[in-house]
Protein backbone atom coordinates (compact mmCIF):
# COMPACT_ATOMS: atom_id res chain seq x y z
CA UNK A 1 0.00 0.00 0.00
CA UNK A 2 2.86 2.26 0.52
CA UNK A 3 4.37 1.77 -2.90
CA UNK A 4 2.84 4.86 -4.42
CA UNK A 5 4.88 7.74 -3.19
CA UNK A 6 3.27 10.05 -5.66
CA UNK A 7 -0.07 9.66 -4.00
CA UNK A 8 1.13 11.58 -1.05
CA UNK A 9 0.90 15.35 -1.21
CA UNK A 10 3.89 17.40 -2.00
CA UNK A 11 4.81 18.42 1.49
CA UNK A 12 4.88 15.01 3.08
CA UNK A 13 8.27 13.69 3.95
CA UNK A 14 8.03 10.48 1.89
CA UNK A 15 6.78 11.85 -1.42
CA UNK A 16 9.05 12.52 -4.34
CA UNK A 17 7.02 15.52 -5.42
CA UNK A 18 8.72 18.74 -4.56
CA UNK A 19 6.98 22.00 -4.95
CA UNK A 20 8.86 25.23 -4.96
CA UNK A 21 7.71 26.13 -1.52
CA UNK A 22 9.23 23.16 0.19
CA UNK A 23 12.81 24.10 0.55
CA UNK A 24 12.90 22.78 4.00
CA UNK A 25 10.25 20.38 4.97
CA UNK A 26 8.54 21.87 8.01
CA UNK A 27 7.41 19.41 10.54
CA UNK A 28 3.75 20.11 10.18
CA UNK A 29 0.94 18.06 11.62
CA UNK A 30 0.59 16.38 8.27
CA UNK A 31 4.12 15.23 7.96
CA UNK A 32 4.08 13.75 11.41
CA UNK A 33 0.84 11.82 11.25
CA UNK A 34 1.12 10.38 7.74
CA UNK A 35 2.89 7.02 7.83
CA UNK A 36 5.37 6.55 5.03
CA UNK A 37 6.62 3.30 3.50
CA UNK A 38 7.65 1.66 6.69
CA UNK A 39 11.00 3.25 6.71
CA UNK A 40 10.08 5.98 9.09
CA UNK A 41 7.60 5.22 11.82
CA UNK A 42 5.74 7.89 13.77
CA UNK A 43 8.38 9.50 15.92
CA UNK A 44 9.25 12.92 17.18
CA UNK A 45 9.42 15.65 14.58
CA UNK A 46 13.09 16.16 14.89
CA UNK A 47 14.02 12.70 13.84
CA UNK A 48 11.67 12.98 10.90
CA UNK A 49 13.32 16.14 9.83
CA UNK A 50 16.61 14.35 9.97
CA UNK A 51 15.36 11.58 7.79
CA UNK A 52 13.76 14.00 5.39
CA UNK A 53 17.11 15.64 4.94
CA UNK A 54 18.61 12.30 4.19
CA UNK A 55 15.95 11.66 1.58
CA UNK A 56 16.66 15.03 0.11
CA UNK A 57 20.32 14.18 -0.16
CA UNK A 58 19.60 11.01 -1.99
CA UNK A 59 17.40 12.60 -4.58
CA UNK A 60 19.56 15.57 -5.43
CA UNK A 61 20.81 13.73 -8.49
CA UNK A 62 20.99 15.58 -11.77
CA UNK A 63 18.27 13.49 -13.39
CA UNK A 64 14.88 15.06 -14.03
CA UNK A 65 12.07 14.17 -11.71
CA UNK A 66 8.95 13.25 -13.56
CA UNK A 67 5.83 14.70 -12.06
CA UNK A 68 2.88 12.49 -12.64
CA UNK A 69 -0.22 14.57 -13.04
CA UNK A 70 -2.76 12.00 -14.16
CA UNK A 71 -2.47 8.25 -14.17
CA UNK A 72 -2.44 6.60 -17.60
CA UNK A 73 -4.58 3.71 -18.77
CA UNK A 74 -4.36 1.48 -15.80
CA UNK A 75 -5.87 -2.02 -16.31
CA UNK A 76 -9.36 -2.26 -14.89
CA UNK A 77 -9.33 -5.07 -12.40
CA UNK A 78 -12.33 -7.31 -12.14
CA UNK A 79 -13.89 -6.20 -8.92
CA UNK A 80 -16.37 -9.05 -8.49
CA UNK A 81 -16.60 -12.13 -10.72
CA UNK A 82 -20.20 -12.81 -9.73
CA UNK A 83 -21.20 -9.29 -10.63
CA UNK A 84 -19.66 -9.59 -14.09
CA UNK A 85 -21.38 -12.92 -14.58
CA UNK A 86 -24.68 -11.37 -13.66
CA UNK A 87 -24.04 -8.60 -16.16
CA UNK A 88 -23.57 -11.08 -18.99
CA UNK A 89 -27.17 -12.34 -18.65
CA UNK A 90 -29.34 -10.74 -21.35
CA UNK A 91 -32.06 -8.41 -20.26
CA UNK A 92 -35.55 -9.90 -20.22
CA UNK A 93 -38.90 -9.05 -18.74
CA UNK A 94 -40.28 -10.98 -15.79
CA UNK A 95 -43.67 -12.63 -15.99
CA UNK A 96 -45.34 -9.84 -14.08
CA UNK A 97 -44.10 -6.70 -15.74
CA UNK A 98 -45.50 -4.65 -12.98
CA UNK A 99 -42.92 -5.96 -10.59
CA UNK A 100 -40.28 -3.77 -12.17
CA UNK A 101 -39.76 -0.26 -10.96
CA UNK A 102 -42.87 1.32 -12.37
CA UNK A 103 -42.11 3.14 -15.59
CA UNK A 104 -44.59 5.91 -15.88
CA UNK A 105 -45.22 5.11 -19.52
CA UNK A 106 -48.58 4.07 -20.88
CA UNK A 107 -48.03 0.40 -20.13
CA UNK A 108 -49.68 0.50 -16.75
CA UNK A 109 -53.07 -0.33 -18.21
CA UNK A 110 -52.00 -3.56 -19.88
CA UNK A 111 -49.52 -4.95 -17.46
CA UNK A 112 -50.61 -6.75 -14.33
CA UNK A 113 -49.33 -6.13 -10.90
CA UNK A 114 -50.44 -9.33 -9.28
CA UNK A 115 -50.60 -12.88 -10.48
CA UNK A 116 -53.82 -14.80 -10.06
CA UNK A 117 -52.78 -17.91 -8.22
CA UNK A 118 -55.90 -19.73 -9.25
CA UNK A 119 -55.03 -19.70 -12.91
CA UNK A 120 -51.59 -21.00 -12.19
CA UNK A 121 -53.13 -23.71 -10.06
CA UNK A 122 -55.45 -24.67 -12.89
CA UNK A 123 -52.52 -24.81 -15.23
CA UNK A 124 -50.63 -27.19 -12.99
CA UNK A 125 -53.70 -29.30 -12.42
CA UNK A 126 -54.30 -29.53 -16.15
CA UNK A 127 -50.73 -30.65 -16.69
CA UNK A 128 -51.15 -33.23 -13.99
CA UNK A 129 -54.31 -34.50 -15.65
CA UNK A 130 -52.52 -34.63 -18.96
CA UNK A 131 -49.74 -36.76 -17.55
CA UNK A 132 -52.24 -39.06 -15.92
CA UNK A 133 -54.17 -39.59 -19.12
CA UNK A 134 -51.04 -40.23 -21.13
CA UNK A 135 -49.77 -42.80 -18.68
CA UNK A 136 -53.18 -44.45 -18.55
CA UNK A 137 -53.28 -44.75 -22.33
CA UNK A 138 -49.83 -46.27 -22.43
CA UNK A 139 -50.63 -48.70 -19.62
CA UNK A 140 -53.86 -49.69 -21.36
CA UNK A 141 -52.06 -50.45 -24.60
CA UNK A 142 -49.42 -52.45 -22.78
CA UNK A 143 -52.06 -54.53 -21.03
CA UNK A 144 -53.84 -55.18 -24.29
CA UNK A 145 -50.55 -56.34 -25.78
CA UNK A 146 -49.99 -58.66 -22.82
CA UNK A 147 -53.39 -60.25 -23.34
CA UNK A 148 -52.72 -60.71 -27.04
CA UNK A 149 -49.38 -62.32 -26.29
CA UNK A 150 -51.07 -64.80 -23.99
CA UNK A 151 -53.67 -65.60 -26.63
CA UNK A 152 -51.07 -66.17 -29.28
CA UNK A 153 -49.06 -68.34 -26.95
CA UNK A 154 -52.09 -70.52 -26.31
CA UNK A 155 -52.86 -70.77 -30.03
CA UNK A 156 -49.33 -71.77 -30.84
CA UNK A 157 -49.42 -74.50 -28.23
CA UNK A 158 -52.66 -75.91 -29.61
CA UNK A 159 -51.29 -75.91 -33.13
CA UNK A 160 -48.15 -77.59 -32.01
CA UNK A 161 -49.95 -80.44 -30.31
CA UNK A 162 -52.29 -80.98 -33.30
CA UNK A 163 -49.47 -81.06 -35.80
CA UNK A 164 -47.42 -83.35 -33.61
CA UNK A 165 -50.26 -85.85 -33.50
CA UNK A 166 -50.72 -85.69 -37.24
CA UNK A 167 -47.05 -86.18 -37.76
CA UNK A 168 -47.09 -89.33 -35.66
CA UNK A 169 -50.02 -90.73 -37.62
CA UNK A 170 -48.34 -90.05 -40.90
CA UNK A 171 -45.23 -91.69 -39.57
CA UNK A 172 -47.17 -94.86 -39.06
CA UNK A 173 -48.73 -94.66 -42.51
CA UNK A 174 -45.37 -94.13 -44.09
CA UNK A 175 -44.04 -97.16 -42.28
CA UNK A 176 -46.89 -99.28 -43.56
CA UNK A 177 -46.33 -98.06 -47.08
CA UNK A 178 -42.70 -98.95 -46.74
CA UNK A 179 -43.63 -102.48 -45.88
CA UNK A 180 -45.92 -102.54 -48.90
CA UNK A 181 -42.99 -101.52 -51.04
CA UNK A 182 -40.85 -104.34 -49.66
CA UNK A 183 -43.66 -106.80 -50.31
CA UNK A 184 -43.82 -105.57 -53.88
CA UNK A 185 -40.13 -106.13 -54.43
CA UNK A 186 -40.41 -109.63 -52.97
CA UNK A 187 -43.31 -110.43 -55.31
CA UNK A 188 -41.30 -109.23 -58.31
CA UNK A 189 -38.47 -111.53 -57.41
CA UNK A 190 -40.86 -114.42 -57.04
CA UNK A 191 -42.36 -113.76 -60.46
CA UNK A 192 -39.02 -113.60 -62.15
CA UNK A 193 -37.86 -116.83 -60.55
CA UNK A 194 -41.11 -118.55 -61.42
CA UNK A 195 -40.86 -117.46 -64.99
CA UNK A 196 -37.38 -118.81 -65.04
CA UNK A 197 -38.17 -122.12 -63.38
CA UNK A 198 -41.49 -122.82 -65.12
CA UNK A 199 -40.27 -124.09 -68.54
CA UNK A 200 -37.46 -126.04 -66.90
CA UNK A 201 -39.93 -127.88 -64.73
CA UNK A 202 -42.08 -128.66 -67.71
CA UNK A 203 -39.13 -130.09 -69.56
CA UNK A 204 -38.08 -132.16 -66.61
CA UNK A 205 -41.63 -133.43 -66.32
CA UNK A 206 -41.67 -134.58 -69.88
CA UNK A 207 -38.39 -136.40 -69.45
CA UNK A 208 -39.84 -138.49 -66.64
CA UNK A 209 -41.65 -141.76 -67.48
CA UNK A 210 -45.32 -141.22 -68.03
CA UNK A 211 -46.23 -142.87 -64.77
CA UNK A 212 -44.35 -140.34 -62.61
CA UNK A 213 -45.29 -137.19 -64.41
CA UNK A 214 -46.80 -134.47 -62.29
CA UNK A 215 -49.69 -132.28 -63.25
CA UNK A 216 -48.82 -129.19 -65.31
CA UNK A 217 -47.65 -126.40 -62.99
CA UNK A 218 -49.84 -123.36 -62.57
CA UNK A 219 -49.78 -120.48 -60.14
CA UNK A 220 -53.27 -120.74 -58.76
CA UNK A 221 -51.98 -121.76 -55.35
CA UNK A 222 -55.24 -123.36 -54.34
CA UNK A 223 -53.70 -126.26 -52.57
CA UNK A 224 -50.12 -127.20 -51.89
CA UNK A 225 -48.57 -129.22 -54.67
CA UNK A 226 -47.88 -132.71 -53.72
Partner 1 sequence: MASASWNQETKARLNEKISANINDLGSLARQVIRGSKSNDLLAQAAKNFSSQEPCINHSFDTLKKLDHIKSQLEFQQAAIERSMGNLDEIQDELKTIQR
Interface residues with partner 1 (CB under 8 A) are 79-80, 82-83, 124, 127-132, 134-136, 138-139, 142-143, 145-146, 149-150, 152-153, 156-157, 159-160, 163-164, 166-167, 170-171, 173-174, 177-178, 180-181, 183-184, 187-188, 190-191, 194, 219-221
Nearest to partner 1 of 81, 210 (CB atom): 81
d(CA 94, CA 96): 5
For the bound state, the minimum distance from the C-beta of residue 189 to partner 1, rounded and expressed in Å, comes to 10
> Closest Cα to residue 213, out of 201, 200, 195?
201
Nearest to partner 1 of 57, 182 (CB atom): 182
Nearest to partner 1 of 53, 161 (CB atom): 161
CA–CA distances in Å: residue 119 to residues 95, 96, 113, 131, 205 = 14, 14, 15, 18, 126
For the bound state, the minimum distance from the C-beta of residue 204 to partner 1, rounded and expressed in Å, comes to 21
For the bound state, the minimum distance from the C-beta of residue 202 to partner 1, rounded and expressed in Å, comes to 16
For the bound state, the minimum distance from the C-beta of residue 154 to partner 1, rounded and expressed in Å, comes to 9
Nearest to partner 1 of 67, 186 (CB atom): 186
Nearest to partner 1 of 54, 171 (CB atom): 171
For the bound state, the minimum distance from the C-beta of residue 163 to partner 1, rounded and expressed in Å, comes to 5
Give 140-198 as a DSSP string. HHHHHHHHHHHHHHHHHHHHHHHHHHHHHHHHHHHHHHHHHHHHHHHHHHHHHHHHHHH
For the bound state, the minimum distance from the C-beta of residue 60 to partner 1, rounded and expressed in Å, comes to 43
Give 7-76 as a DSSP string. GS-TTSTT-S---TT-SS----HHHHHS--SSSS-S--HHHHHHHHHHHHHHT--SSPPPPP-S------
d(CA 96, CA 210): 142
Nearest to partner 1 of 69, 74 (CB atom): 74
d(CA 76, CA 83): 14
Amino acid sequence: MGSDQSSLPAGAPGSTIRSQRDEEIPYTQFSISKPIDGDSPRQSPRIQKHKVQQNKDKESTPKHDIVVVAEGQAPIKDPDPELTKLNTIPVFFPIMRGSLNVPTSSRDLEMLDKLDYRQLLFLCLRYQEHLKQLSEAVAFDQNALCIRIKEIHHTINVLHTALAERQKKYNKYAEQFNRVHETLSVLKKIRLRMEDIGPKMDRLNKLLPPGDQLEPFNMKLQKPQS
